Structure 1
């Protein structure tokens, strides 16, 4: 019995925070642009489009396991960059400081999950390739 559906499910859940955010920004561009302005990202239109493309394309590459290393890598870099831009807990006062610190810890954990996805994709490809070699 093939378990490939389980891989698709896992990769879809892993990327949920990215593709759901990308779709929300795509369907409500005013809110997406306001978010870019809120964080001081200028020009906001450029950052808006780059964000939507990164979130949606990166998620799709991971979910489909096609160039998953590139999609997961882009999402990992994106997630890491949000820390100093949107979650700079070190410059905040309590209780927001502690809440944002926990968000940063979750972001780091998600980056770890994306690294595992890259590793798992590479292992699947090596095993798939080696099973096609003549014995």
Structure 2
């Protein structure tokens, strides 16, 4: 007897496509990849950005951001140690949320914008958790 599902067949077929998960992994970490590449290409600007957020020593925070963004993204994309890559990106995102999107300390339109960005980043963290769960399931299957 076939399992009952409320998912239309064409969606099930699409979600079963073997290339979908690798594409989704790249899409999930694309902002981190771009950010890491931009920081690496213009390290002085990356240092200035960290200093603007009050993170000192700014050069160390910039270097950590580059390593975290590029290294974490690579681990998520290849699916090896995805928990480490996603965890690092998640921590980086939490720091960003608290430093750059502190909506509770802002007013007016700035508060509106920061609130949206804060919760969008929370959604990215949830996506990182989900990709880690999928990676664990794949490993357990063998």
With normalisation by structure 2, the TM-score equals: 0.86
Hey, what does 2:118 align to over in structure 1? 104
CA distance in 2, matches of 1:55, 1:4: 26
1:27 to 26, 37, 41: 41
Hey, what does 2:106 align to over in structure 1? 92
- TM-superposition CA deviations, 1:78-113 (whole Å, max 9, x none): 111111111111111101101100000101100000
Deviation of residue 31 (structure 1)? 1.2
Hey, what does 1:132 align to over in structure 2? none
Structure 1: 5+ residue stretches without partners: 130-135
Hey, what does 2:32 align to over in structure 1? 18
CA distance in 1, matches of 2:113, 2:73: 26
With normalisation by structure 1, the TM-score equals: 0.90
Deviation of residue 4 (structure 1)? 4.2
CA distance in 1, matches of 2:54, 2:119: 23
- Following TM superposition, the consecutive aligned residue runs of length 4 or more in structure 1 with deviations greater than 6 angstroms are none
CA distance in 1, matches of 2:18, 2:72: 20
Structure 2: 5+ residue stretches without partners: 1-15
Q: Do residues 62 (structure 1) and 62 (structure 2) align?
A: no
- TM-superposition CA deviations, 1:19-64 (whole Å, max 9, x none): 1100000001121111011011111111111010000000000000
1:120 to 134, 137, 141: 134
Q: Do residues 48 (structure 1) and 58 (structure 2) align?
A: no
